[in-house]
């Protein structure tokens, strides 16, 4: 035997094998305890495969499978045998040309070696396929010749095998090639060929398991208990920043009332605050049961987030004393002068819970995973229990209003606290603002400005010393102005945006061939945004595009844009807005419109440049 084999197996094993094999060599007329079968398969789709032996890339369309079938009680070592043993090797050639074919071996089964138990080896036990990739199936008159070299071992002896097996080309007496992808051995062959099957999300069935199975929910009783605990814990989760401000409101004592009146107000506020929380969860249960929405899915709707952001911004302005709201007023110190104290507490509780919806905590995940796929009655029950858990601290304070005496006495500090809460609400605005798509940021900031102006006018001209008709006329005008601003800023486009993003390649391809209109803009340019909303709107530019056969290019200078900035400089400008009109007949003599302009001026400029 080769020296390498002696070194691999060890001298002790080598001597043992030599003594064992001598009787077998003497009995040369005996057949080795193994048989071989062939199988031919075709692939549904050709596969590119690079053989590690010769680094040759092959376009594989079929497979020849050589089955190694050791007799009962015998095994062969795999091609990568491990700590000891002789590797199984199959050297295949395509006859009569003699072209070498690669062989792909399965990894084998790891086990302790029979003769050296301290070593782990990989073996082939039972029927084992060796895959031979083919660029084309063997035709009549050709064959695949495989020289097989392996070592068979039992518990007591080993038998070296060196044999040649042949697979003849296809003929009428042979069965047709099987479809490889339908065979049980295909996953193993696909892995050896480097084929990775991607999973279809629509067709794949998953069997998830939980890291914390004790928190998983399977019954309504357990769901109700965990839901209550989850709602209670939501009050203390640090992620509930938007709610902290509104919760602190319930602890601000009213100024100018005696102890009993304060306790009564304290109880009433907490009752209606808790009722607001429960009301929200009941409404949410109906919505989820009817629409199938997921927990917190409302925050996937940009318009819903925008509405909440504006509401929180308006509430924060009220805490800075800019104005007073008639229904929801978060400021302390009003005592019994409030016109709608119950509605205020109710709506404050609803708003607090809406803002807490995106948060999660212990128990909640497992509860919702089970509950939201149950019938509507169970969904309503579980969500109500979450609401009860979240409202329980306030219900407890309402049940024991004497707790009010542990609150600090009213004074000037409440004004300071209001201002602090105002800043916390502004922080909430930042959080909600970050959830909005970037394309809505400029419009949202403009809306904040409009709301701020409206809040100032509300506080300035709608005080209690004004006549009722005057107050509500001003308030109606303010609300109408905010609604109009929302329509202008966020109304969906009626037509498709006609502008194309500027690129050097696109510009060079079109100049001199098309009439071009190039608009230089940026998100930080208010005049640019004003023009986009009032002059170069999608509807107006679409009509001009059809009339003059224009190609509209938009150069965005919001971020660094060397090509766009260079073109702007070459057009004699260093500031924006700028709109350039390039005639296809005189592309080197563009007409420039700077700063603000009107629709009529743009029409005249096009007529002047294009001379149509």
The DSSP code for 198 is P
Residue 311: pLDDT above 60? yes
pLDDT given for residue 339 in this prediction: 57
Quick count: other Cβ atoms within 10 Å of Cβ 550? 20
Parallel, antiparallel or unpaired: strands 515-521 and 550-556: parallel
Tokens of 343: 């509605």
What residues are paired with 153 via a beta bridge?
A: 75, 158
Residue 492: pLDDT above 80? no
CA distance 558 to 498: 20
CA distance 100 to 97: 9
Which residue intervals of 400-440 are DSSP H helices?
Answer: 413-435
CA distance 568 to 321: 47
219 by DSSP, 3-state: which? Answer: coil
CA distance 488 to 490: 6
Tokens of 351: 């708003």
Residue 22: pLDDT above 60? no
pLDDT given for residue 244 in this prediction: 58
Q: Which residue has the tokens 């089955």?
A: 67
217-274 pLDDT tens trace? 888 898 899 889 888 888 776 555 555 555 665 555 555 556 677 778 888 888 998 9
Q: Which residue has the tokens 């922080």?
A: 427
CA distance 245 to 312: 10
CA distance 366 to 371: 9
CA distance 223 to 242: 27
Q: Which residue has the tokens 């070194």?
A: 7
Q: Which of 185-189, 289-293, 510-514, 596-600 has the lowest mean pLDDT?
A: 289-293
Number of helices followed by number of strands (H, E) in the chain? 18, 16
pLDDT given for residue 24 in this prediction: 47
Q: Please give, one letter per residue, the 3-state secondary structure of 550-569.
A: EEEEEEECCCCCHHHHHHHH
Residue 344: pLDDT above 50? yes
Residue 189: pLDDT above 60? yes
What is the arithmetic mean of pLDDT over 312-329? Answer: 78
Which among 582, 585, 607 is positioned nearest to 506, based on CA atoms?
A: 582
Residue 289: pLDDT above 50? yes
Tell me the percentage of the chain whose pLDDT exceeds 70: 82
CA-CA distances (angstroms) from residue 175 to 63, 143, 168, 561, 604?
Answer: 15, 15, 12, 67, 81
Tokens of 573: 């400008």
pLDDT given for residue 493 in this prediction: 63
Q: What angle do CA 139, 145, 146 make, to 5 degrees?
A: 140
Residue 60: pLDDT above 70? yes
pLDDT given for residue 312 in this prediction: 85
Q: Which of 175-189, 199-213, 322-336, 399-413 has the lowest mean pLDDT?
A: 322-336
Q: What angle do CA 88, 90, 91 make, to 5 degrees?
A: 140
501 phi and psi, to 5 degrees? Answer: -65, 135
Residue 204: pLDDT above 80? no
516-535 pLDDT tens trace? 999 999 988 888 988 988 89
pLDDT given for residue 4 in this prediction: 45
Buried b (16+ CB within 10 A) or exposed e, 385-402: bbbbbbbbbbbebbeebe
Which among 279, 274, 269 is positioned nearest to 403, based on CA atoms?
A: 269
pLDDT given for residue 359 in this prediction: 65
What does the mean pLDDT of the chain come to? Answer: 82
Tell me the percentage of the chain whose pLDDT exceeds 90: 36
For the chain, the straight-line distance linking the first and the last C-alpha, in angstroms and rounded, comes to: 96
CA distance 603 to 583: 14
Who has greater pLDDT, 10 or 356? 356
Band the pLDDT of 72: cuts 50, 70, 90. Answer: very high
How far from the centroid of its chain's Cα atoms is residue 543's Cα?
39
pLDDT given for residue 449 in this prediction: 94
161-178 pLDDT tens trace? 999 999 887 766 677 899
93-149 pLDDT tens trace? 999 888 899 999 999 999 999 888 889 999 999 999 999 999 988 888 889 999 999
pLDDT given for residue 5 in this prediction: 45
397-440 pLDDT tens trace? 888 887 777 766 666 777 787 788 788 888 888 888 988 888 88
pLDDT given for residue 146 in this prediction: 94
Which residue intervals of 462-503 are DSSP H helices?
Answer: 468-490
pLDDT given for residue 202 in this prediction: 67
Q: Which residue has the tokens 């907490």?
A: 270
pLDDT given for residue 334 in this prediction: 47
Band the pLDDT of 329: cuts 50, 70, 90. Answer: low
CA distance 86 to 158: 11
444-484 pLDDT tens trace? 999 999 999 999 999 888 877 888 888 889 999 999 999 99
pTM confidence score: 0.56
What is the arithmetic mean of pLDDT over 178-197? Answer: 88
CA-CA distances (angstroms) from residue 458 to 250, 331, 453, 461?
Answer: 25, 16, 9, 6
């Amino acid at each position: 035997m080769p020296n390498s084999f002696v070194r691999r197996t060890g001298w002790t094993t080598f001597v043992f094998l030599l003594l064992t094999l001598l009787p077998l060599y003497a009995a040369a007329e005996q057949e080795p305890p193994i048989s071989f079968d062939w199988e031919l398969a075709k692939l549904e789709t050709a596969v590119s495969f690079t053989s590690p032996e010769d680094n040759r890339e092959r376009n594989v369309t079929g497979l020849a499978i050589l089955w190694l079938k050791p007799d009962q009680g015998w095994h062969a070592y795999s091609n990568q045998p491990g700590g000891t043993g002789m590797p199984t090797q199959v050297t295949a050639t395509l006859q009569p040309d003699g072209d070498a074919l690669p062989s792909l071996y399965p990894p084998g089964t790891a086990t302790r070696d029979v003769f050296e138990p301290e070593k782990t080896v990989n073996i082939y036990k039972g029927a084992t396929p060796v895959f031979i990739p083919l660029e084309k199936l063997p035709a009549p008159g050709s064959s695949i010749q495989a020289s097989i070299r392996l070592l068979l071992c039992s518990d007591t002896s080993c038998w070296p095998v060196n044999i040649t097996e042949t697979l003849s080309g296809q003929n009428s007496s042979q069965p047709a090639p099987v479809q490889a992808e339908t065979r049980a051995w295909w996953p193993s062959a696909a892995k050896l060929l480097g084929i990775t099957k991607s999973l279809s999300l629509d067709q794949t069935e998953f069997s998830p398991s939980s890291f914390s199975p004790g928190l998983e929910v399977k019954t309504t009783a357990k769901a109700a208990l965990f839901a209550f605990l989850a709602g209670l814990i939501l009050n203390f989760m640090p992620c509930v920043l938007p709610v902290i401000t509104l919760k602190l409101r319930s602890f601000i004592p009213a100024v100018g009332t005696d102890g009993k009146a304060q306790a009564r107000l304290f109880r009433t506020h907490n009752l209606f605050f808790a009722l607001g929380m429960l009301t929200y969860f009941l409404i949410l249960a109906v919505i989820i049961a009817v629409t199938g929405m997921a927990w917190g899915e409302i925050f996937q709707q940009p318009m819903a987030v925008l509405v909440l952001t504006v509401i929180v911004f308006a509430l924060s302005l009220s805490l800075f004393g800019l104005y007073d709201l008639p229904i929801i007023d978060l400021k302390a110190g009003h005592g019994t002068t409030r016109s709608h104290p119950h509605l205020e507490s109710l709506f404050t509780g609803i708003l607090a819970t809406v803002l807490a919806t995106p948060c999660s905590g212990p128990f909640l995940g497992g509860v919702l995973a089970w509950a939201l796929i149950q019938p509507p009655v169970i969904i309503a029950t579980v969500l109500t229990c979450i609401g009860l858990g979240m409202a329980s601290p306030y219900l407890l304070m309402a049940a024991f209003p004497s707790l009010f005496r542990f609150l600090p006495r009213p004074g000037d500090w409440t004004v300071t606290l209001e201002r602090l809460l105002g800043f916390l609400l502004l922080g909430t605005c930042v959080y909600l603002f970050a959830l909005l798509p970037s394309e809505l940021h400029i419009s949202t900031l403009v809306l904040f400005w409009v709301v701020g102006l409206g809040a100032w006018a509300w506080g300035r001209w709608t005080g209690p010393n004004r006549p009722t008709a005057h107050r509500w006329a001003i308030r109606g005008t303010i609300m109408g102005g905010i609604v109009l601003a929302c329509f202008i800023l966020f109304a969906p486009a009626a037509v498709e945006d006609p502008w194309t993003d500027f690129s050097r390649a696109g510009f060079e391809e079109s100049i001199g061939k098309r009439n071009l209109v190039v608009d230089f803009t940026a998100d930080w340019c208010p005049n640019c945004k004003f023009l986009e909303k009032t002059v170069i709107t999608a509807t107006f530019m679409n009509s001009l595009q059809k009339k003059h056969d224009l190609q509209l290019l938009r150069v965005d200078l919001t971020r660094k844009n060397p090509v766009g900035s260079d073109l702007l400089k070459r057009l004699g400008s260093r500031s924006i807005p700028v709109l350039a009109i390039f005639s296809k007949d005189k592309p080197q003599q563009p007409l420039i419109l700077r700063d603000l302009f009107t629709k009529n001026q743009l029409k005249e400029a096009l007529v002047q440049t294009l001379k149509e």
